[in-house]
Amino acid sequence: MLVVGLTGGIGSGKTTVANGFSALGVSVIDTDQLARELVEPGQPALDEIIAVFGKDCIARDGQLKRACIRQQIYSDAGLKSQLEAILHPKIRQRIKTLLAELRETYCIVAIPLLLETRQTDLVDRILVVDTAEKEQLTRVAARDSLSDNTIMAIMQSQADRNTRLQAADDIIVNDGDLESLAERILELHTYYMEIAYDH
Ligand code: ADP
């Protein structure tokens, strides 16, 4: 099975692209989703997070207050590393388990921090969604209730555009409308089906 790692900066369009492949019947492993499942009440990772961030970051219904965590890690690099040390090995293990269960010609693994967390060994090809930084900012501001400063801080904590483009095997330039994005996804889907047979 050919494993394509999908990555890109915040607001570049990864989720939109992942949904596009999914709509074509492609299996998509979404690591953001895996991360959310890992911190559900009753999961071991949640207890580890409480030990670091305190009980104040847990809502009354037992769910993690993600905004509270986000705010703390962007002002404290040490806390960010601690959170990553809890989550990343568990996410990595979960990806491996899910990949081992799949019986497909090819699949997509959406990993926002594919390059930053050095997980490229999990995938055969790297597909980067590329969008101008200004556009990322506009899209995230419209989607989330985050200040421009917070969005820029997130962007700065991620790999820069050139680093991503250099690492890419395939690129989706997401600077047009949703229709041209869908066309590009279909084009890549056809290509991946072709090369997966030789894989
Ligand atoms: P990411 O998952 O990389 O953070 P999303 O896929 O959530 O990015 O896209 C960010 C926002 O921009 C979403 O609201 C999405 O609907 C919108 N968006 C993405 N690509 C396009 C596009 N080509 N045209 C218009 N809106 C887009």
Which of 79, 76, 40 lies closest to 59, judged by CA? Answer: 40
The type of residue at 42 is G
pLDDT at 73: 86
Range of the domain at 64: 39-103
Whether 33 is in a domain gets the answer no
Cβ of residue 10 lying under 6 Å from some atom of ligand 1 = yes
Task: For residue 173, give the H/E element and its range.
Answer: strand 170-173
Low-confidence ranges of the chain (pLDDT < 70): none
Whether 168 is in a domain gets the answer yes
Cβ of residue 119 lying under 6 Å from some atom of ligand 1 = no
Q: Which of 7, 10, 14, 15 to mutate to test the pocket of ligand 1 (most atoms within 8 A of CB)?
A: 15
Clarify whether residues 127 and 70 are in a common domain.
no
pTM above threshold 0.75: yes
Ligand 1 atom index nearest CA of 175: 23
pLDDT at 118: 86
pLDDT at 72: 87
Clarify whether residues 59 and 99 are in a common domain.
yes
Ligand 1 atom index nearest CA of 142: 14
pLDDT at 170: 98
Ligand 1 atom index nearest CA of 143: 14
pLDDT at 75: 80
| Residue 169, C-beta contacts closer than 8 angstroms, at least 6 positions apart | 125, 126, 127
pLDDT at 77: 87
Per the structure, how many domains does the chain have? 2
pLDDT at 88: 93
Q: What angle do CA 106, 107, 112 make, to 5 degrees?
A: 145
pLDDT at 152: 92
**Cα(49)–Cα(83) distance, rounded to whole angstroms?**
7
CATH number at residue 18: 3.40.50.300
pLDDT at 117: 85
pLDDT at 146: 85
pLDDT at 199: 83
Clarify whether residues 147 and 51 are in a common domain.
no
